[in-house]
Amino acid sequence: MEIRTEGASLLLDKLETLGENDQLKEEEINEIIKHPDIQQWLKAYDWIDDQKNKFRELLDELPDEISNDFKSRDQEINNLWLQKIDFGLRKAMDNIQQMRSSLEAIKNYDWDSTVQKALDYLPDKTELEPVLVVTVDGFNGGMFRHETVYLSLVYFDTSLISEDSFAHELHHMGADYWWEKDTRIQRFKDKGDKQKYYFVQLFTYLVGEGIANAFCSPEAITEVEGEETEQHDKMVRKYQEEMEDIFDNLEKLLENIIEFSEEEVSELYSNFTMDKENRGIPSGHFLSGRMVQMMDRSSSVSRDEILDLIKDPFKFLHIYNKAAGELDARKFSNELMEKVDEFIEHLEKKERKEL
């Protein structure tokens, strides 16, 4: 496994030089921006408008007081990104030595064991050759984008190093190994056809986050109990109370994708898949993980069937409904299932025509 820490180390070096009246020089900012690790990190946010120049502006403004005038500059999600990236940079400035300690812990970690854990919950013959880029990211503590895993020092705690959370991100990379081979998924990976894009994105999201949370990092969707996890346990209990509402939101999202109202779908999708309330994880992570755990408890669904969803994510609702029927849990309606199946048939029909 390739661990890339040089970009984060460079950024920490530059931030450490800042005093109350100092600012980064233009050549220092250019050195940061041009580093391959920083370039790769910013590329992961290619859905944010002009993210490189915005990052440059944040670096240029350090260590001035945080600006709250984000709304006049961008739309809602861009505002949130700016605020969180700014937060990460400032937290790094205030905790340089802690960040350096975390960086060393990451470099010396037993990554081979973590890779194996991810492979345990992937289909046979998955090829997993991870690249991990360490960041100072206040928006996302861990993510997988463009065949690369990103791990942020901002949310990394050396006292709580968890193989599970690392395996979670590597699992996403393993799932992507199969999705790169699926032409139905690849054809609609960009937003050329937004209806099909959101449909495909939702199913890969449900399978990817569902399996990763259920098996690789189950503590993310489970009460752990303890003083240090009080906030986490509160989040889990809150989501448990809201399960019916979250399920409603998923059904509404599916309905709107099939009927397609772009503005409403975009909002519903971001609300389902992003943690806009800073709870710890998005509601979609929680629901999909619990759905996969239900499948795993069901005697009518085998573990292999669940893992094979990675090779065909569009079977997710059917496998879930089979488990839910046995366990007397809420199911997706026959009407909605028919609409979804018709849409999948449409995708596959187009696929056959173009081959």
Q: Which residues are bridge partners to 151 per DSSP?
A: 134, 142
- What is the residue whose two structure tokens read 């448990």? 240
pLDDT at 80: 87
pLDDT in tens, 115-160: 999 999 999 999 998 899 999 999 998 888 878 889 999 988 776 6
The verdict on whether omega for the bond into residue 130 sits within 30 degrees of 0, i.e. cis, is no
Domain ranges of the chain: 2-160, 187-354
pLDDT in tens, 14-51: 999 887 668 899 999 999 999 999 999 999 999 898 99
Whole-structure pTM value: 0.76
Q: At what angle do helices 334-354 and 243-259 cross, to 10 degrees?
A: 40
- What is the residue whose two structure tokens read 């240029």? 60
Round the average pLDDT of the chain to a whole number and report it: 90
Counting beta carbons within 10 angstroms of the beta carbon of residue 167, is it exposed (0 to 12), middle (13 to 18) or buried (19 or more)?
Answer: buried
Backbone angles phi, psi at 133, to 5 degrees: -105, 125
